[in-house]
Every structure is written in C-alpha cells, then in structure tokens.
Amino acid sequence: MSWFLFSSRPRTMAAWAAGLLCVAAQAQTAQELNTRALAATCANCHGTDGRPVTGSDSARLAGQSREFIVEQMLAFRSGNRPATVMHQLAKGYSDAQIQALAAYFAAQR
Amino acid sequence: MKRREIIQGLAGAGLLASMVGCATGRGAPTTAKVLVVGGGYGGATAAKYIRLLSGNSIDVVLVEPNRAFVSCPISNLVVGGVRQLADITTSYDGLRNRHGITVVHDTVTAVDAGRKSVRLAGGTEIRYDTLVLSPGVDLQFDAVEGLRQAHANGQILHAWKAGAETQALFQQLQAMPDGGVFAIAIPEAPYRCPPGPYERASMVAAYLKKNKPRSKVLVLDANQDVTSKGPLFKKAWADLYPGMLEYRGQHKLVAVDARNRTLRFDFQDAQKADVLNVIPPMRAGALAVQTGLANANSRWCHVDFLNFESTAAPGIHVLGDSIQVAPAMPKSGHMANNHAKVAAAAIVAGIKGLERNTSPMLTNTCYSFVSADAAIHVASVHEYVPAEKTFKAVAGSGGVSAARSEQEARYAMAWARNIWADTLA
C-alpha cells in the first residue's frame, strides 16, 4: 500500500505524487472492490468516483453526505423527486446497493 | 523529505516501474501484465480502471492505432455542422500521465493465444499474462455489391467510426445543392449504436432546414421499423421536419451504383440521391474474428458475463461492440465502458487473489439529439442473473424520455464530457 496515503507527512508530498499519477488506493477486500465497481456505474454521468468535470450539468456525488444521497435516491425511486432520467435509473438499485453507493461517495473528496 | 524516501515510497506503491515505463515508453514494450488492445470506450476504460482498482500496482499496456480518441457519440453533431471534430476528440495523455499506462500507437496484426502474445504491425511481439480485446466492429463492405470500391473512392461514406470521415460526410452535405436528397441506408440489427442512424437523420434535417430548405432526408432502413426510441424520433420528425424527412422501413440494401448515385434493395424500388450515406452491416472487430473468438454465428463473441472472458479462449477478455450481447443490451459506448469496469474488477480480483464479484451491475444511458438544442434518451440498469448466466434489465427500471427537451440536450453534453473523462482522463 502506498504509504503517502496514510502517512501524516505534509500534504504537499501527496500532492506532488498526485501530480505524477492519479493516486488511488488499492481495493483491499472483495467487498471493497465490488463497491467500487458498483459506484463506477454512476461515473458515466457523474464522473469517476463521483467527481464530474467542471461546468457540466451533472451533480457532484463525491463528498455529499450519506444521508442526503440515500434520501435523494429513494425520492427518485418513489417519484417524489421529479427527474428526466434518474427516476428510471434509481429503480435499478436495491436498498442495500443504495446504502453502499451512498457510503462510498460520502467517503470521496 | 529526502529523495531516497520518495523513491522508496513510490517503489512501495508500485509506481516506480510505471514511471520508468513512461520515460522509456516510446517504443513498444515486449511484455505486459495486462495487455489491452483497442483504445475506444471499452479498452481505454479497462486500462484506466485496472490501474485505479489495483492502486496502480498492475502494469497495463494499451495498443491503439489512432493518436487520439474521437468519439462516435456526439459525432452526428459534427455531421450536422453544429460541432467541430476537435470538440469530440480527446488525447491519450491522461491515460499515460495520470494513470501510468503505457500507450503504444500501433496495430495488433495477430494474437497467439497459446503463446500468450500479440504481434504488432511494427514488428514487435508483446507477451502478456492477461489480454483484453476491445476491437469494436468490422464493417462488412462486401455484403453490399459495389460498396467497397465506392467507399475506397470516397464517393459513398459511412462515417460510422468517428474521425476524418465524419468531417468528410459534413462536407458532402455542405456541397449538396438545395433541393437535393440525402439518403441514409441502415443495416439490419444488431449494429453499433441502435438510435445513431435516426439521430443522424435528425441532425442532417436540422442542417437542411436552416441552410437548404428545399432538400430532403430519406431514411432507408433494413429493419421493419425504427429500432430505438421510435415514437420520440417520429414525433420530432413530424414536429420539426414535416415534409423534409421521410422514413421507409423494410429497405434492405443489396447494391450501390456510385456513378449513378443509386441504391438498390432486395425487394423495393431503387432510389437515387445526391448524397449516399451507407452504414454497412457489421460484425465483431477483425482481430476478434481472426483470433477465432466470433463463436456466435461467426459474427459476434460469446463471453462469460462475470468477467467478459471469451468462451472460445480462456485468458482473453472481449469488451464492447464485439460481443454477443445479453438481452436488451445495446451496442453502445456507454455499455462498452461498463463492460470494461466489470472486466477490470474481475481481472484485478483474479490477480490479487480476491473472490470474484458474482453480482455485477451495468447501466446504459443513451442520449440522441433530434435538433441542435433538443435531445431524448433511453436508459436501463442491468443485473447479472446467476441462474441464466447473463445480464438482464432490472424489472421496473429504465425507460425513455417523457418528451424531447433542451434540458436533456444539456444532460447529453454533460454525459459526453463526463464519460470522456471517465474513460480517458
């Protein structure tokens, strides 16, 4: 595992490394890997790890609170929140998957 | 921070080898832990996500002949003259510099599955542990008499692989006299991007309405009826292009006469037009076919949907338009990107000794423009069904637009910019 992700050394070091290569932690467990693959199904519109490109009309998911993401997904699914497409996509995910997605995106910055 | 500590840190993260690879990566390497062939939506995404999910610990080599990625999605806006080729072009530098992938611009001429190696046109042999093929589609010019020659002469274009030909088709549209006919011939499904031809017809009509209003678009479809988003397209055509865009189903093209600008069909009358845009029938990319992977009607590649491994050759994964699709799975860039993520996670799990996911998911969101500022969509969510060993649409999910809108046109561009970044940045 890359030490600079977990070290308490100055952030400039991590930033320096990030400038070289995209810093991504390795999935340590099958569960973690599966969650990241699940979250990647959102990336086409919402950006890799929930970070959309600057100036696009897609909502940022990275760093939103877990409760907020769950609430919005359930509102899309029930039809309480009107949408063009998200009501159709939200219906494809189970409660457990929505919880896993929300926890994942909440943990991203 | 001492330099030695930095180097140790990077080596510990498995980055040092990649950096060296970057520095010396101009020539092709001779070995690859994972070798990805084809830098489109499937291959480029697989390369990036194998790096991401492994914390950059698995070396990836990507072989792609084109120097830059040119997107098929949104390319109909270039055909219609409202976007430039540069707007749909993305560099491979993100994969190189941000993700440490060795990108080789060359063509794979042969795969030796037994020896686990590929041969490049440039002569190099690359030996691999795992091979990912994402070779797109092979256009079957010879299925239509006269088409290969007419295409080679530049008289009849397909523009179904985005690039210089996309721009050339726009130039044919520009050169067409007012009062002319622009004909689009559509092959029988399955073909790459089911709604693409109808979007193209819409964008050509939008151009003509503004610039050459006495002209006509003629859509000649080998299928019974519009294969995707039919009611939405037909409403847009009736509302926006009345009398200008004519749709005719059950027109299977059998021959072209470039000199007389004529299309001939199996049963229907021949049709003359000023611009002939013929989309040929398709099959799996030539490399997949020649490697013996096209085991579905000698046309598409059956895969194990848990990891997209070929059922004809263990250790070779096939992604994107080349595969024999699961029910309700379109041949689309979005789908290829999602195939790649399932395959990447399975490949990383295999190399790291983690249990493989038995319930992968896929999405598809496909936008089509019906004018310069309005779009429609079809969306679906797919889950792996172990009992049937295939993906199926999740019951109750998915659907199409309620109506075309400018808001969906903005979402379509947001989708494009984000999937380009997700695939390549």
- For residue B194, pLDDT over 60 is answered with yes
A53 contacts B418? CB cut-off 8 A: yes
B57 → chain A, closest CA residue: A26
The answer to whether B67 contacts chain A (CB < 8 Å) is no
A6 part of a folded domain: no
Closest CA to A69 of A90, A84, A91: A90
> pLDDT, tens digit, for every residue of B118-141?
999 999 999 999 999 999 999 999
- The CA distance from A50 to A43, in Å, is 6
Contact B345 A24 (CB under 8 A): no
Q: What is the DSSP letter of A66?
A: H
With an 8 Å Cβ cutoff, are B55 and A38 in contact?
Answer: no
| B238 neighbors B147 (Cβ within 8 angstroms) | no
Q: Could you give the CA distance from residue A105 to residue A12 in angstroms, rounded to a whole number?
A: 24
Asked if B219 and B263 touch (Cβ cutoff 8 Å), the reply is no
What is the per-residue burial (b if ≥16 Cβ within 10 Å, else e) of A57-68?
A: bbeebbebeeee
CA distance B165 to chain A (A): 26
Closest CA to B317 of B298, B341, B282: B341
Q: Which of B356, B385, B401 is the last residue of a domain?
A: B356
Amino acid B20: pLDDT: 37
* A74/B contact by beta carbon, under 8 A: no
Number of domains in chain B: 2
Residue appearing with tokens 């060296």:
B20
Q: Of B329, B356, B383, which residue is a domain's last? A: B356
Query: CB count, 10 Å around CB of B41?
Result: 32
**Which of A21, A37, A92 faces B99 most closely, judged by CB atoms?**
A21
A100 to chain B, any CB pair closer than 8 A? The answer is: no
B181: left (phi over 0), alpha (psi -120 to 50) or beta: beta
Q: Do B240 and B255 reside in the same domain of the chain?
A: yes
Phi, psi of B234 (to 5 degrees): -65, -35
What is the tens place of the pLDDT at every residue in B300-356? 999 999 999 999 999 999 999 999 999 999 999 999 999 999 999 999 999 999 999
> Which of B339, B356, B373 is where one domain is finished?
B356
Summarize the confidence of residues B224-232 as an average pLDDT.
97
CATH number of the CATH domain containing B203: 3.50.50.60
Q: Give the Cβ contact number of residue B189 at 10 Å.
A: 15
Q: What is the C-alpha to C-alpha distance for residues B79 and B424, in angstroms, rounded to an integer? A: 24
Cα separation, B268 vs B117, in Å, equals: 49
Distances (CA, A) of B256 to A21, B143, B160, B180: 51, 11, 18, 18
| Reported pTM | 0.91
Within this chain, do residues B260 and B295 fall inside the same structural domain, yes or no? no
pLDDT, mean over chain B: 94
Q: Which domain holds residue B305?
A: 3-138+283-356
Residue B328, pLDDT score: 95
Whether residues B348 and A33 touch (CB distance < 8 A) is answered with yes
Asked whether residue B264 falls in the same domain as residue B155, the answer is: yes
> How does pLDDT run across B229-250, given as a tens digit for each residue?
999 999 999 999 999 999 999 9
- List chain A pLDDT tens, one digit each, 109 residues: 333 333 333 434 443 444 557 667 787 899 999 999 999 999 999 999 999 999 999 999 999 999 999 999 999 999 999 999 999 999 999 999 999 999 999 999 9
Q: What is the pLDDT of residue A4?
A: 34
Q: Give tens-digit pLDDT for B20-71.
A: 333 334 578 999 999 999 999 999 999 999 999 999 999 999 999 999 999 9
B411/A contact by beta carbon, under 8 A: yes
Residues B353-404: tens digit of each pLDDT = 999 999 999 999 999 999 999 999 999 999 999 999 999 999 999 999 999 9
In 3D space, the residue among B22, B161, B152 whose CA is nearest the CA of residue B96 turns out to be B22
CB contact under 8 A, A85 and B379: yes
Mean pLDDT, residues B84-99 taken together: 98
What is the number of domains present in chain A? 1
Pairing of strands B31-37, B68-70: unpaired
Complex ipTM value: 0.91
Please tell me the predicted confidence (pLDDT) of residue A52: 98
Give me the pLDDT at residue A65, please. 98
Q: Is residue B338 part of a domain?
A: yes
User: What is the Cα A37 distance to its own chain's centre?
Assistant: 10
Q: Within an 8 Å CB–CB cutoff, is residue B23 touching chain A?
A: no
Residue A76 placed within a domain: yes
Identify the band that residue B9 occupies on the pLDDT scale cut at 50, 70 and 90.
very low
How many Å apart are CA A102 and CA A78, to the nearest integer? 17
pLDDT at A3: 33
> Among all chains, which residue has been given the structure tokens 């070289």?
A20
Q: Is residue A37 part of a domain?
A: yes
Separation CA B344–CA A28 (nearest Å): 15
Select from B396, B405, B421 the Cβ nearest to the Cβ of A91. Answer: B396
Beta carbons within 10 angstroms of residue B137's beta carbon: 24
Cβ–Cβ below 8 Å for A33 and B345: yes
User: Under an 8 A CB cutoff, do B365 and A33 touch?
Assistant: no
Q: Which of B112, B69, B53 is nearest to A25 (CA)?
A: B53
pLDDT of residue A20: 59
The answer to whether A58 contacts chain B (CB < 8 Å) is: yes
- Show the domain range for A49: 29-107
CATH of the domain at A34: 1.10.760.10
| A17 CB within 8 Å of a chain B CB | yes
**Is B382 inside any structural domain?**
no
pLDDT at B16: 39
Residue of A nearest to B15 (CA): A21
Is 50 exceeded by the pLDDT of residue B267?
Answer: yes
Give the three-state DSSP class for A84. coil
